[in-house]
Chain A
């Protein structure tokens, strides 16, 4: 049997893995959606773009269902605190994601150009807004969110919507948008041909450089401008899941402490930066598949950077730092973590197996001719 503290650490890793999986897989769908009105110039081109992700976007979206489910099952207090604390961001996220299924399924059912144009714009919203809001949410969590608990561990959010949209959070939002739009462009470079592919390659050659710049900027901000959090007393790794058992202090630059305590964590930002840089090289060298792998690695690195910088924090409280949620005081019980781990060990390989089967079956590029030949059955 695994002990409580090991299980908590495993679930912290798994959570990162699932959220990175979401960013990588649903990420290119978002990116493609955000690029749709800019990269495609005719209806036929727009249909090509939409159909590059048509067969896979539903499966990809399941990563968010899994990510949220994993937070719910493995870190329930974090689920309540982050989802209700960042309420309007989450509602905005839902609203924009609700627009997507119609954009795929309904858009090409009617010939009317107005009808199609409306759905194209909704697909753009459904592609651009979620990455922005995810970034903003992470930006807020890095700064700490104003909340406290009462004696029954009921959470009270003490901030407002204007606090949510602060400069650092918006910068994180831009990192996220830039990263996923680039990822979408790399995906399109793989799945299209002709003029569309050329445009995609051009974007994929520049986008990652923007990401690198913004990511580095955010890093400097974290090092010199942002208050991080440090546990100064209590916080046993195997203690009960109760956020009242520790003392926490805020210090500028504290989010960098982990990199000297656990040097391997430095791998995360390195992957983020080199992955993005390699993407631009590979896409220019006409190696779109490898560029995609590299872009995915970069996303993993960037998502992981946010996670490891904060360890062991999951969601710090900016006005009651000692009530911050950490890996060790916001988890499920030992038994639930164990049950969930077993379920994941059983089902994750199966998921990876059939997902790769589907991707393999749908391999190859999507062309205008394919759309015309299958006008009734494709999106």
Chain B
């Protein structure tokens, strides 16, 4: 079987390149919609300042978008290069949403983004507005298909094992498309992108107001950002709750780990506000509980139980034992594919096959694994409790902070006091990086919480990787880190420089005249 070091390196590379990629994606998602809104105002009011607003934020959008494109290709290729067995084992289901993403979304976004920048003088107002909305639609649809693919990794539905081709194959594509996990993740993720875009516009405009320059420009931008940001930050929390609810249905272990909940409590379970998890002894050394809360969030009832880690491990032990029956049946079928009894056994215990594969960490002779190995493998299904517990809480706290921030901004805008509320403006400027922190934490919770699985319950992560050498892996990992970090520094430098230079370069003659004549 594959050398563990290669697997670790492949995971590190995927994590690093994905986290880098997601530094650029949320801003693309959010800004593209904000550009659409600003240009719509221009279309309706015909006031040139709104066109200039769109142009300036568009330039920042472009600097960011370039990095999104640069880092995005790696994500797609990586499934083939570093996760070849994964590609073979689930490509029949997982490949389709990725390909459709290209057909339906990315092509749209990438084709129209060029003419967004180059088409200002070539297109009519209406045509250009259409182009801008197509870019926004393309990037958001792109997120939809990627999250359908990702949601399937978290909650694999509509697929069944085919022993003739030794892989999972699609049995119901409708289920894959309308996977509740995917839908919840999609709306949560795009809302997070809208929050990122809004906070970016809010913070940068605050910078202009603090410097007492480009006042009209900044105030208009803030108005849009505050309104859109308030809606988005509310929806990101509400829809995050939906994500939690679907996870509690389909990914019970992840929820239990996030909550640091070792034993099943009588319903409705309490929510650990603060705790010191002690994974060695399968308990928390200290905890502060809010009664009922977890039960309400996770089951939306007062009677249903949320299973704890210990009970889930017991369940998974049974899955492994059932999986061994499926595994043996599969071995029989490989010798004689017509054996009806083996076919039936495989069908009956198919749900356990992935669990049996967890034993590959301990033995090459899976059917004869000892009880001790089975126990160990069952405990392997518990993700790392401590980092998940804290990452999740930090992410949620930030979510509530964003609501407060946008609510305040909105109120100040309505009161026409935003320009003079300098403390708030300073705070808004300082908060610019926070949506990125919470987005990355969110991905960490979702993907690290999925361990030890590539595909939950179906394919252990350590089996998904390609059979490469550690030398290859170090070379690519090192290369990506150097390349990405350099480009990130360049990108940030250009962002800051463009912001400091201000929007004047992008103003049409008319706006410049109006702004000059203003007191």
Find out whether the CB atom of A87 lies under 8 angstroms from the CB atom of B81: yes
Query: Which residues of chain B come closer than 8 Å to A233, judged between CB atoms?
Result: none
Q: Is the interface of B mostly helix, strand, loop or mixed?
A: helix
Find out whether the CB atom of B107 lies under 8 angstroms from the CB atom of A62: yes
Query: Which residues of chain B come closer than 8 Å to A76, judged between CB atoms?
Result: 87-88, 90-92, 95, 167
* B window 438-466: CB within 8 A of A: 466
Query: Which residues of chain A come closer than 8 Å to B65, judged between CB atoms?
Result: 105
- Bound-state CA distance A98–B95 (Å) is 23
Q: Residue B297 at the A interface, CB < 8 A?
A: no
Q: Residue B433 at the A interface, CB < 8 A?
A: no
A72-B91, A83-B81 given; A94·B74 CB < 8 A: yes
A90-B81, A98-B483 given; A240·B103 CB < 8 A: no
Q: Residue A40 at the B interface, CB < 8 A?
A: no
Partner of B73, one of A54, A94, A151, A343: A94
Partner of A347, one of B86, B103, B468, B483: B103
A68-B80, A343-B99 given; A80·B114 CB < 8 A: no
Interface size of A as a range: 35 or more
Question: Min CB distance, A118 to chain B, in Å?
Answer: 10
Q: Residue A65 at the B interface, CB < 8 A?
A: yes
- Bound-state CA distance A98–B72 (Å) is 9
Query: Which residues of chain A come closer than 8 Å to B494, judged between CB atoms?
Result: 106, 109-110
Find out whether the CB atom of B114 lies under 8 angstroms from the CB atom of A102: no
Q: Residue B317 at the A interface, CB < 8 A?
A: no
User: Interface centre among A72, A100, A348, by most B CB within 10 Å?
Assistant: A72
A55-B114, A102-B490, A242-B166 given; A97·B81 CB < 8 A: no
Find out whether the CB atom of B162 lies under 8 angstroms from the CB atom of A72: no
Query: Which residues of chain A come closer than 8 Å to B85, judged between CB atoms?
Result: 80, 154-155
Partner of B103, one of A84, A152, A348: A348
For A333, the closest partner residue in chain B by CB is: B169
- Bound-state CA distance A348–B264 (Å) is 52
A106-B66, A340-B99 given; A98·B498 CB < 8 A: no
Question: Min CB distance, A60 to chain B, in Å?
Answer: 8
Q: Residue A376 at the B interface, CB < 8 A?
A: yes
Query: Which residues of chain B come closer than 8 Å to A106, judged between CB atoms?
Result: 63, 66, 490-491, 494
Find out whether the CB atom of B115 lies under 8 angstroms from the CB atom of A361: yes
* B window 371-421: CB within 8 A of A: none
Number of A-B contacts (CB under 8 A): 262
Find out whether the CB atom of A62 lies under 8 angstroms from the CB atom of B88: no
Find out whether the CB atom of A72 lies under 8 angstroms from the CB atom of B79: yes
Find out whether the CB atom of B110 lies under 8 angstroms from the CB atom of A68: no
A91-B476, A151-B334, A333-B92 given; A102·B165 CB < 8 A: no
Q: Residue A58 at the B interface, CB < 8 A?
A: yes
Find out whether the CB atom of B483 lies under 8 angstroms from the CB atom of A68: no
Query: Which residues of chain B come closer than 8 Å to A110, judged between CB atoms?
Result: 494, 497
Q: Residue B101 at the A interface, CB < 8 A?
A: yes
For B472, the closest partner residue in chain A by CB is: A87
Q: Residue B514 at the A interface, CB < 8 A?
A: no
Find out whether the CB atom of B95 lies under 8 angstroms from the CB atom of A73: yes
A88-B472, A242-B165 given; A336·B467 CB < 8 A: no
Contact pattern, B 95-120, Cβ under 8 Å of A = 1, otherwise 0 = 11011111110111011111101111
Q: Residue B71 at the A interface, CB < 8 A?
A: yes
- Bound-state CA distance A44–B96 (Å) is 44
Q: Residue A205 at the B interface, CB < 8 A?
A: no
Query: Which residues of chain A come closer than 8 Å to B117, judged between CB atoms?
Result: 54-55, 377
Find out whether the CB atom of B466 lies under 8 angstroms from the CB atom of A65: no
A87-B466, A333-B170, A339-B96 given; A59·B91 CB < 8 A: no
Find out whether the CB atom of B165 lies under 8 angstroms from the CB atom of A241: yes
A79-B79, A94-B74 given; A153·B99 CB < 8 A: no
Query: Which residues of chain B come closer than 8 Å to A256, judged between CB atoms?
Result: none
Query: Which residues of chain B come closer than 8 Å to A362, judged between CB atoms?
Result: 114-115, 118-119, 122
Partner of A102, one of B80, B467, B487: B487
Q: Residue B279 at the A interface, CB < 8 A?
A: no
Task: Give 15 new A-B contacts, CB below 8 A, not counting A61-B73, A62-B107, A77-B91.
Answer: A56-B111, A65-B76, A68-B77, A69-B103, A80-B80, A80-B87, A88-B472, A106-B494, A151-B334, A153-B165, A240-B164, A240-B165, A340-B96, A358-B114, A358-B115
7 A-B pairs within 8 Å (CB atoms) are namely A55-B114, A65-B107, A336-B169, A340-B100, A354-B134, A362-B119, A377-B55
What residues make up the interface of A, taking CB atoms closer than 8 Å to B?
54-59, 61-62, 64-66, 68-74, 76-77, 79-84, 87-88, 90-91, 94-95, 97-102, 104-106, 109-110, 151-157, 240-242, 332-333, 335-336, 339-340, 343-344, 347-348, 351, 354-355, 358, 361-362, 374, 376-378
Q: Which 4 A-B pairs have the closest CB atoms?
A: A76-B91, A83-B80, A80-B84, A73-B95
